[in-house]
């Protein structure tokens, strides 16, 4: 719809302009401040220029009226234009808001260490990543998803040691001297008990078995992580093992050396990441010859770029902010365009329950488990609320909010709108086939504006994806449902003269609500 509007304005104005949407729809559906831009060149006031430009739109086929106000030009779309777009959408629902983009994207997100269950901090990035994927795919991007499994290094060894010591304490019943760093939580004890059943209690008698336990437990945790993600409707196309990529370290290191951005000092090998505005240079090979954690990321990003995507997106926790420059420096030193890598940071979440801090999970130790919150609030609520604010802002929410059956609970209110529409159709005894060809004429302003708002979903999706601000979609869904409820409460439908016209508008509203919810992983309810 917006493309048609832009084209129609371009034909009449024949110059560049900015198109805006007024907050008050009584002013117009779109507006442009072009008169202010032309004022200096034409040496006239913006008001006079706007009045003159409005005359260019007489006899327009898509605008009901074009008016000037304080230098702005406001455009009101006509019913015939809106009706045409509504009919097209209703008759081709599977293709509504879809387009084609000539860009390939590799999206990596979550990538939590497979050393324990997913906690609520992981959930925000997971939901953001999956929703970006769904929307991007709908818009026609060739987008692939990937989970980077950190299955090499100290954290996996520590997992094995933690289970080994837990097995000695809880299975063999011997006194254990715990190190300063180890994984806590009941899940470690559960793993130790499970391991004793699979391998026999003797596995805790010899420290040589720690490596075996590490590998076994990593696989168990990865299974649990996949299950946690499936509970909120997330499935990855590919899992990439860090350990499997280490055979490519020599190849990656040779590429780095060609850049002359590596050096040796104190027996360690470094990259000159300060050349990329990093606060200090970074170690990539330790004194004992072992690659560092950063080296693993260098290998992985070399592997990514070798696959020749047009764009790469990484979603990381906000605590990884300082890591961006060193990774981009390494990508540049490998000979690639680091600008193709986009890093999105997901800020932390504070959970409440009945205005009190949400209780930590004994199973996980000092974390709130994602699975606990899903059981408490539901997958739909979690997905919606985690997208309700910009990902780089802190998020506070009370899970009890989602037990309310009123407008304070956005998921209830949006679903109630969708269910109401289905109920109205049932009461009318009519189907989409009955109303799809109805001409929308002589509508009141509220009906026109409701229809217009329902048709905005395609451009909302474009903006939300392009700006990586998915709260634009959740805000749109809340606004559309609120507008619908207001219109429904103020207008009789069944048995009225405009029944079929209103039903067609409601069908368009329902399609936008259903499509928008689906693109953030939520299935709209047909009855409440």
Query: What is the residue extent of each domain of the chain?
Result: 2-77, 84-99+405-518, 259-343
- Nearest Cα to Cα of residue 488 among 415, 421, 414: 421
Q: How far is Cα 144 from Cα 118, in angstroms, rounded to an integer?
A: 22
How high is the pLDDT of residue 361? 72
How high is the pLDDT of residue 382? 93
Of 3.90.650.10, 3.90.1170.40, 3.30.1360.70, 3.30.70.100, the CATH number of 2-77 is 3.30.1360.70
Contacts of range 222-225, beta carbons closer than 8 Å, 24 or more positions apart: 222/114, 222/149, 224/117, 225/110, 225/112, 225/114, 225/117, 225/118
Task: Report CA torsion sign: 222, 226, 231, 234.
Answer: positive
What is the enclosing helix (H) or strand (E) of 278? none
Locate 408 and state its tokens: 């304070």
What is the enclosing helix (H) or strand (E) of 273? none
Cα-Cα-Cα-Cα dihedral of 484, 490, 494, 495, to 10°?
-150
How high is the pLDDT of residue 528? 87
How high is the pLDDT of residue 364? 67
For the stretch 79-122, pLDDT in tens is: 999 999 999 999 999 999 999 999 999 999 999 999 999 999 89
363: which DSSP letter? Answer: T
- Nearest Cα to Cα of residue 143 among 155, 151, 133, 153: 133
Of 3.40.50.970, 1.10.730.10, 3.40.50.150, 3.40.50.300, the CATH number of 84-99+405-518 is 1.10.730.10
How high is the pLDDT of residue 194? 97
Q: How far is Cα 290 from Cα 284, in angstroms, rounded to an integer?
A: 9
How high is the pLDDT of residue 362? 67
Phi, psi of 337 (to 5 degrees): -85, 105
- Nearest Cα to Cα of residue 273 among 227, 325, 335, 313: 325
How high is the pLDDT of residue 408? 87
Residues of the chain with pLDDT under 50: none
């Amino acid at each position: 719809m917006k493309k048609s509007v832009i084209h129609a304005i371009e034909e009449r104005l024949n110059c560049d302009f900015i198109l805006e949407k007024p907050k008050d729809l009584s002013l117009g559906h779109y507006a442009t401040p072009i008169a202010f831009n032309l004022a200096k060149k034409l040496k006239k006031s913006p008001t006079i220029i706007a009045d003159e430009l409005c005359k260019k739109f007489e006899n327009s086929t898509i605008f009901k009226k074009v008016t000037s106000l304080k230098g702005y030009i406001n455009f009101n779309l006509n019913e015939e234009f809106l009706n045409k777009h509504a009919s097209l959408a209703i008759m081709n629902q599977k293709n509504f808001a879809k387009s084609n983009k000539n860009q390939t994207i590799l999206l990596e997100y979550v990538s939590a260490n497979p050393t324990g269950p997913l906690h609520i901090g992981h959930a925000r990035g997971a939901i953001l990543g999956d929703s970006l994927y769904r929307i991007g795919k709908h818009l026609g991007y060739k987008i692939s998803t990937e989970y980077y499994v950190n299955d090499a290094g100290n954290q996996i060894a520590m997992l094995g040691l933690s289970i080994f010591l837990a097995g000695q304490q809880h299975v063999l019943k011997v006194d254990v001297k715990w190190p300063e760093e180890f994984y806590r939580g009941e899940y470690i004890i559960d793993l130790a008990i499970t391991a004793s059943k699979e391998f026999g209690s003797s596995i805790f008698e010899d420290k040589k078995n720690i490596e075996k336990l590490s590998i076994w437990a990593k696989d168990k945790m990865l299974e649990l992580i996949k299950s946690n993600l499936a509970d909120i409707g997330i499935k990855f196309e590919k899992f990439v093992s860090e350990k499997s990529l280490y055979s490519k370290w020599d190849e990656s290191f040779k590429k780095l050396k060609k850049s002359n951005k590596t050096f040796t000092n104190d027996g360690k090998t470094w990259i000159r990441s300060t050349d990329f505005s990093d606060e200090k240079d970074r170690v990539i090979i330790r004194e004992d010859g072992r690659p560092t954690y950063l080296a693993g990321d260098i290998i992985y990003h070399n592997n990514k770029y070798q696959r020749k995507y047009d764009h790469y997106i990484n979603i990381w926790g906000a605590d990884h902010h300082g890591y961006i420059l060193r990774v981009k420096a390494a990508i540049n030193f490998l000979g690639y365009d680091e600008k193709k890598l986009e890093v999105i940071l997901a800020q932390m979440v504070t959970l409440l329950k009945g205005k009190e801090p949400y209780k930590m999970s004994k199973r996980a130790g000092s974390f709130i488990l994602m699975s606990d919150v899903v059981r408490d609030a539901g997958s739909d609520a979690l997905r919606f609320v985690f997208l309700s604010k910009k990902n780089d802002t802190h998020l506070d929410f009370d899970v009890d909010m989602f037990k309310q059956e009123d407008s304070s609970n956005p998921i209830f209110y949006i679903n109630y709108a969708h269910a109401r529409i289905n109920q109205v159709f049932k009461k009318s005894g009519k189907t989409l086939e009955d109303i799809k060809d109805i001409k929308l004429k002589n509508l009141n302003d509220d009906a026109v504006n409701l229809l217009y708002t329902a048709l905005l979903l395609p451009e909302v999706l474009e903006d939300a994806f392009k700006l990586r601000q998915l709260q634009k979609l959740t805000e749109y869904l809340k606004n559309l449902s609120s507008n619908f409820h207001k219109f429904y409460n103020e207008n009789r439908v069944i048995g009225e003269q405009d029944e079929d016209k209103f039903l067609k508008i409601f069908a368009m509203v329902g399609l936008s609500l259903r499509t928008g919810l689906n693109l953030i992983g939520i299935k709209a309810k047909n009855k409440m």
